Every structure is written in C-alpha cells, then in structure tokens.
Amino acid sequence: MDILERTRITPLKAGFGAQVGGVDLPKADQAQVKAVVDAFHHHGAILLRDQSMTPDDLLSFIRHFGEPEGHTLQEFTLPGYPNIFILSNKIVGGKPIGAHNDGVGWHTDYSYKAEPVMCTMLYAVEVPPEGSDTLLADCCAAWDALSPDRKAAIAGLKLHHSYAHFMRNREWGAMELSPELAAENPDVIHPLVRTHPADGRKALWVSTGTVDEVIGLPNPEGLELIDELVAWVTQEQFVYRHKWCVGDVLMWDNRCTLHTGTLYDDTKYDRLMHRLWVKGDRPF
Ligand SMILES: O=C(O)CCC(=O)C(=O)O
Ligand SMILES: [Fe+2]
C-alpha cells in the first residue's frame, strides 16, 4: 500500500484544515510522519483522533515540526516535562495543576514575542461531554475574501503587541507583571498581514489581547480597526469548531490562524489537556 492509501486526508472544513486518518502516531513510519507534517504546513491545522500518547511520545512527535518552545508560566508544566504545559480546572492537593480558561478570547499564541510560536498542539486527556470546544479561524481565507481596495488600505499596517497589556486586562487571572516577567517579555511590533513561508500565502494576522495599538493610527480608531478585523476573521464562514474527544491531537499553525477556547461547566466537569509549542520565526 502506498503512503496516500495508508494516510487518509480529509478537510476539517471546506478549504481549511486536514483530518489525518490511518496513523497511529507513536508507531508511525517516516513517510507517514512526513505526510502529517506536510499537511500541517499547507492546511493551517491538523487533527488526528484516537491517539494514545505518553509525554515522551508527544515530545518525540512535536520534534518533527521543530524545536519545542518553553512556556511563559512554568508553574503549570507537567512535572519533569518543562515543554508540556497543562490546561485544566483540576485542583490536586489544594493546588491547581494547570491554567484554567487560559485561551478564552480570540488570539494567536505568543504574539507578544519577537518570534511567536509556529505551532500549538493540544492533546486531550480528559474532556467535558459538553462545552470547551476550541475554535480556529482561517486568516488566509479571511484575507483572500477582502476587496482589493480594503487589502490595499491595510496591507502595510503594523501592530504593537504587549504581554503586560494582555495580562493586565484579561478576564481570567488578570495581573501586573513581576519585574522578571516584564523584563523577559518586552513589547514587540508585528505586521498585520503575514506571509506564510511554506507557499507565500497571506494571512490577516490580527489578534485580541496582546494588541494595544496600530502603529500610526491613534486610539480609539486603531483599536476600532482591530475589533472590526477580528470580527471579520472570526465570521462563521472562516471558523472551524473543534468538539473534543479523549485522544484527539489538534495542531494549529499560528502563522495563519486565530483561535479561542470556550467555557464549560467546571463545577460539573473536568478538562485536562497537554499543550506543546514549537519555536517560530520573526513574522514578515
Ligand atoms: O483551551 C483551549 O481550547 C485553547 C487554549 C489555548 O488557547 C492555547 O493553549 O493556546
Ligand atoms: Fe492559545
């Protein structure tokens, strides 16, 4: 059987994302892994269901995409695994084991860094039977759908991103940065329209949370433009809604997507995800 027969690729939604079937990740051969990595770089997101991955399996697999990135808040990493971050509402021994509701609100990961993470992987260990979906927006389709005039008007804009601004204003766990975190996370400027290095496709790379200014466009107009563009990118026609099952591996390409978590009834249900990041390049 050739690689195409063994590895079934179907879109997550028309024109976006790829569900890859027929692959058992810890046992995958080189050709299968290459097909999975290629699908990732060209489709914006990939999903593999029914996986059974130890922390070491997750780390070996993610290395096919690049070098794992460390996490900003080390207190929520898996003991012994600084590159595996825990998203959870669970409390063990009186202490939260992970970050809860961390990704609620449209954003792209690590956008407050000069080299934001290229890829985010979530592996579902425990999922609520309802709620907690993860939504991915296709920033390339959103860019392509703009009129030529609108594209020309916004093409050269640059955004100011600030971790301090994000942490001060977020809905859950708002805080002022410690002097150490502030020193590790200076503000950065990124283009609004980002080019994908795999094939040159353009993405409308807007975000909420870390963006506090459009360079050269004073507030409130700057932030009004951001709100308008985020509303454009996150229209239903550009969004894939992922409903979680235990064993799902979902990976998205932060160079061309926005994502958000959603709430769930955390008084009734537990959620536990392992998150891994892959280092990225400076956006252009
Ligand atoms: O929990 C989720 O569904 C999304 C979390 C998120 O934004 C992230 O891990 O980067
Ligand atoms: Fe995120």
SS3 category, 46: strand
Centre of ligand 1 to C-alpha 200, Å, is 27
Q: How confident is the model at residue 73 (pLDDT cuts 50, 70, 90)?
A: confident
Q: Of the bound ligands, which one is closest to the alpha carbon of residue 274?
A: 1
Q: Whose CA is nearest to atom 7 of ligand 1?
A: 103
Residue 168 DSSP SS3: helix
Longest CA–CA span in the chain (Å) reads: 59
Q: What is the pLDDT of residue 4?
A: 56
The ligand that comes nearest to the alpha carbon of residue 112 is 2
Q: What type of residue is 231?
A: A
Beta-carbon contacts of residue 78 (< 8 Å; ≥ 6 apart) = 55, 84, 85, 86, 274
The answer, yes or no, to whether residue 94 has pLDDT greater than 60, is: yes
Give the span between the Cα atoms of 153 and 70, in whole angstroms. Answer: 37
Q: How many CB atoms lie within 10 A of CB 246?
A: 14
**Residue type (1 letter), 70:** G
Give the integer Cα–Cα distance in Å for 101 and 58.
Answer: 22
Neighbours of 76 (CB within 10 A): 19
* pLDDT classification of 263: cutoffs 50, 70, 90: very high
Question: For residue 102, how far is its CA from the centre of ligand 2 (angstroms)?
Answer: 7
Interval 199-243: pLDDT, tens: 999 999 998 889 999 999 999 999 999 999 999 999 999 999 999
Residue pair 70/184 in contact (Cβ under 8 Å)? The answer is no
Model's pTM, two decimal places? 0.95
Ligand 1: residue whose CA is nearest its atom 5: 103
Residue 169 and residue 178 in contact, taking contact as beta carbons nearer than 8 Å: no
Per-residue pLDDT tens digits for 153-206 = 999 999 999 999 989 988 777 889 999 989 999 999 999 999 999 999 999 999
H/E stretch holding 230 = helix 221-233
| Residue of the CA atom closest to atom 8 of ligand 1 | 103
Pocket test for ligand 1, best of 83, 102, 126 (most atoms within 8 A of CB): 102
Residue from 72, 73, 104 to probe ligand 1 pocket by mutation (most atoms less than 8 Å from CB): 104
Q: What is the pLDDT of residue 233?
A: 98
259 CA distance to ligand 2 middle (Å): 6
Q: Residue 100: which of 113, 85, 110 has the closest Cα?
A: 85
Higher pLDDT among residues 69 and 172, named by residue: 69
Q: What residues line ligand 1, using a CB cutoff of 6 Å?
A: 87, 102-103, 109, 120, 134, 259, 261, 275
Alpha-carbon dihedral 181, 123, 52, 35, rounded to 10 degrees: -110
Any residues with CB less than 8 A from the CB of 33 and at least 6 apart, and which? Answer: 61, 64
Looking at ligand 1, which residue's alpha carbon is closest to its atom 4?
Answer: 261
Closest CA to 16 of 258, 268, 265: 258
pLDDT, tens digit (0-9, with 9 covering 90-100), for 102-158: 889 999 999 999 999 999 999 999 999 999 999 999 999 999 999 999 999 999 999
Nearest residue by C-alpha to atom 1 in ligand 1: 261
Q: Which ligand lies nearest to the CA atom of residue 134 in the structure?
A: 1
Position 72 confidence tier, pLDDT thresholds 50, 70, 90:
confident
